[in-house]
Structure 1
Amino acid sequence: MKIAIASGKGGTGKTTVAVNLALSLKDAQLFDCDVEEPNCNLFLGYDLEKIEDVNVKTPVVDKNKCDLCGKCSDFCQFNALAILPEDVMIFPTLCHGCGGCTIVCPNKAISEVDRKVGVIEGSVNGELAFCQGLLKIGEPMTSLVIKALQEHIDKNATAIIDAPPGTACPVIASVKNVDYCILVTESTPFGFHDLKLALDVMRILGIPFGVVINRCDIGDNRVEEYCIEEGIPILMKIPYDREIARLYSKGIPFVNEMPEWKDRFLRLFRDVTSLSEMRDRPEQ
């Protein structure tokens, strides 16, 4: 089973929920898909090893063969190539690696080389397997790194996916093939506003979802009231607790020091599993 932990905005406690949930399960896998700033390992402290580089094919032009016809530039929807009166310019960071320019070039003047856009790292420590993607600084191809990271998911084990915050393309790439999405929010005006954006995305994608309300006893009750009105499962409420905050500040997953919370996360997992199975069950 693949479970994504997502949020409409940053800072709601998404990574906290992902790490503590993964540590509460047996034979779990944890994947940090927030590849621009992965931080799950701040709480795990694992020694990570490089698994693979993530590369994208980028065009190279043989100017002895190129007659500046412009067919490659006309084809490219991302403006990664520009034809000048006496030269060809290539903008590597705009290239999506589709290879179309090599096909349309009548003179076979275009070939491709690998350009590194990120790296996949991982570690196995006890029962928890952990992998993260790390986008190369200055590269915009976030989704390519996320896709490469998810190739390492073992379909025979439970996978917890820590998605990036927000509702943009990296989030779509992280959640589109999951069985269930847990949306983490907070009881604040910003939390409520961005939760509704994230809910819209899940509905469009057809992904079943439930909500975890973090720091539930600050702010107001509008998130809980909205979820009740809309029939959205509230899977867990985490209070604004001094001990949880103290452990967080030291980079310690609170299920390791507060065993009662491990039981609560196990109950959350059972609820998610049940809700997912109910959705997949054919109607009688």
Structure 2
Amino acid sequence: MKIAVASGKGGTGKTTVSVSLALSIEGKAQFLDLDVEEPDAHIFLRPEIEKEYMASLPVPRVMLDKCDFCGVCQDVCAYNAIFAFANTKQLVVFDELCKGCGACTMLCPQKALYEVQRPIGIIREGWRDDIHFFEGRLNIGEITTTSLIKIVKEKAGNSGITVIDSPPGTSCPMVEAVRDADYVLLVTEPTPFGLYDLKIAHGVVKKLGKPHGIVINKYGMGDEEVEKYAEETGTEVLLRIPFEKKIAEAYARGIPLYELDEKWKIAFRELFEQIGKKL
């Protein structure tokens, strides 16, 4: 079972929910921090990191003695990452745009292209008790966010119960993170911005055909419009986390909500059980 925790915007409490949900699971589980541009789940989960390794993508290089600059590579590249200039006998590769699909190398009529590995980030792997932790960290300046998310998921594999801390927003990285999830938790806050972005995220998960529910964080600070939207759309609110100073203080100290007191241990265990019953 894979549970993705997502949000339409940053700062709603997505990591707060995903970490505490993972801690509530009895027995072995996996935790994937796929917010690869700003991973921070390790601050709260505090895993013992055992491995750290490079993540890379294959990018093409040319053997000029074989290339006739026919332009097939340029035509098949969906990302405009390679250009052939027959008049100057040059082939230019923009590594940062390449997604490593291999189409140019495979379809080159002259077999003039080969691939080298280009680092795009690192993967960290470790344990917190029975939780197997995986984290992707994108290199500064990289735009291959979705590619690194795919690599982390492939490295983790499919092993039992998995909680995914998705990147915020509703663009390609979020879609890739939740694409093969069995259930999606949408974390929001009761504000106009929170509702606006919730509507977009809700539309995405419905389009993907994913079972889903809502968690309202900072409950009580804003208005009731999120509750009204949930009722109008028939989307269940599974948990409400109140807007309280002690919760904010615990967060600032890196203390998961699950560890704050017994009430929250029970609440997150019940949340996990609710999700399990829906699948």
- Could you state the TM-score of these two structures normalised by the residue count of structure 1? 0.93
User: Deviation string for 1:142-183 (max 9, x for gaps)?
Assistant: 122111212244645211100000001111111111110000
In the alignment, what sits opposite 1:192?
A: 195
Are the counterparts in 1 of residues 5 and 186 from structure 2 also a CA contact under 8 Å? yes
Note the C-alpha offset of 1:105.
2.3
Note the C-alpha offset of 1:75.
2.1
Aligned counterpart in structure 1 of residue 165 of structure 2, from 154, 162, 172: 162
User: Which 4+ stretches in 1 moved above 4 angstroms?
Assistant: none
**Superposition RMSD in Å:** 1.5
Q: Secondary structure at the match of 1:103?
A: helix
Unaligned runs of 5+ residues in structure 2 are none
In the alignment, what sits opposite 2:83?
A: 82
In the alignment, what sits opposite 1:205?
A: 208
2:225, 2:128 → 1: CA distance?
40
In the alignment, what sits opposite 1:42?
A: 43
Of residues 40-49 and 249-258 in structure 1, the stretch that sits farther from structure 2 once superposed is 40-49
2:76, 2:245 → 1: CA distance?
58
Answer yes or no: is 1:183 the counterpart of 2:203. Answer: no
Instruction: State the identity %.
Output: 45
**Amino acid aligned to 2:24:** S
Q: 1:175 and 1:225, CA in 2 relative to 1: closer, same or farther beyond 3 A?
A: same
User: Deviation string for 1:36-79 (max 9, x for gaps)?
Assistant: 11110111233424354222111001122222222221222211
Are the counterparts in 2 of residues 32 and 133 from structure 1 also a CA contact under 8 Å? yes
- Could you state the TM-score of these two structures normalised by the residue count of structure 2? 0.94
1:143, 1:75 → 2: CA distance?
20
Answer yes or no: is 1:146 the counterpart of 2:149. Answer: yes
Within 5 Å, which residues of 2 pair with 1:247-258? 247-258=250-261
User: Deviation string for 1:204-237 (max 9, x for gaps)?
Assistant: 0000000000001011000011111221110000
1:40, 1:239 → 2: CA distance?
21
Are the counterparts in 2 of residues 51 and 119 from structure 1 also a CA contact under 8 Å? yes
1:163, 1:240 → 2: CA distance?
23
2:188, 2:164 → 1: CA distance?
17
Unaligned runs of 5+ residues in structure 1 are 277-284
Q: Secondary structure at the match of 1:252?
A: coil
**Amino acid aligned to 2:122:** V
Aligned counterpart in structure 1 of residue 244 of structure 2, from 227, 241, 244: 241
Aligned residues: 276
Are the counterparts in 1 of residues 99 and 147 from structure 2 also a CA contact under 8 Å? no
User: Deviation string for 1:233-283 (max 9, x for gaps)?
Assistant: 10000001111111101111122131210100011111111122xxxxxxx
Are the counterparts in 2 of residues 153 and 159 from structure 1 also a CA contact under 8 Å? no
